[in-house]
Structure 1
Amino acid sequence: MEEFKTAHESKVSITQLMLPSHSNFGGKVHGGHILNLMDQIAFACASKHSQRYCVTASVNRVDFLHPIEVGELVTLKASINYTGRTSMVVGVRVESENITTGTKRHCNSSYFTMVAKDEQGKGMTIPGLLVENTEGARRFARSKRRKEEAFSRDTQFDSSKFKIEEHMEFLEGENIKLSLR
């Protein structure tokens, strides 16, 4: 296995026509279908980089920016943004294209943390990321920061350490009524 690989070496993209079977009750493509496609391409990208079976550990925030219409082409692009010892952050971008007008729209982007596994389900060491330009360094740094912020957020609100008194001002003015016992 190589010690380092570029993001370009594991970059993956797919394009699919959105069919009526992909629609929700509102007639738009169901968000769950798009999430499923995003997870599949994140898996493909991570597996290509690590040369291992990978599992999804977490998905960072998914904002649906524009609805996708039945009959549009949807293109998903994935690349490795960050590598740890056994995990990778895969950036996934979703774009729709109206076939008749050629209009393209960025529909959403998200970041999937994928972990390489061995045959027994244990985390496997993966190649590091060889960054060749400033954009790659920016993506790596942003993913590292996002990982640190998630850890901080999770520990700050750990139920064994949470003190309501420290958060009263923060909750003030919110749509909440506290009736603590």
Structure 2
Amino acid sequence: MNQNQPNTLPPEYFDHVYQANRDPWNFETSPYEQAKYAATLAALPRPHYAEAFEIGCSLGVLTAQLAPRCGHLLAVDVSEAALAQARARCAGLPQVDIQLMQVPNEFPTQPFDLILVSEVGYYWSPADLARAAELLIAGLQAGGQLLLVHWTPPVHDYPLTGDDVHEFFLAKTAESGPLRHLGGQRHETYRLDLLEKR
């Protein structure tokens, strides 16, 4: 972890990125992203989740693919520019609720049986990661699942790496911890871990 206790990247950072490029990470067109989305969906062991929460939905590309497996899917992001595209993409999916929300400063009150944290944890400061983890675990129903998917190479701007994020959560799977580790995958530039609340 960066020892300078870096700050969480602010919403303005993402607004500038999306204003410069409507799909800055090529979520819509990249074969890498498509393969990662397929691996993400394949890692989910249940065919259906009644209440799901996606943090950092961006343009809603993965949101639209996840929606058919959800009774209700709350998808949030800090960038209104990204959410406008997500709303358009998911307009025909009545189970999807797209909201502007900055986790961990804001957090929904209903319990979830699936929370997806994909490519967002490394934007948090170490302190916000710890706060977010407490909220995520509290927000899961018993037996609810937490799926983490993150790019692993370090990025200069980001407070944490994907490995920092995953190792922080995996530390909570010790014998007396609140989570159990159901499985993980490490690919060339990203990793995926599925956790379940005890």
TM norm structure 1? 0.24
- Larger C-alpha radius of gyration, 1 or 2? 1
Task: With a CA cutoff of 8 Å and minimum separation of 6, indicate the structure with the bigger relative contact order.
Answer: 1
TM norm structure 2? 0.22
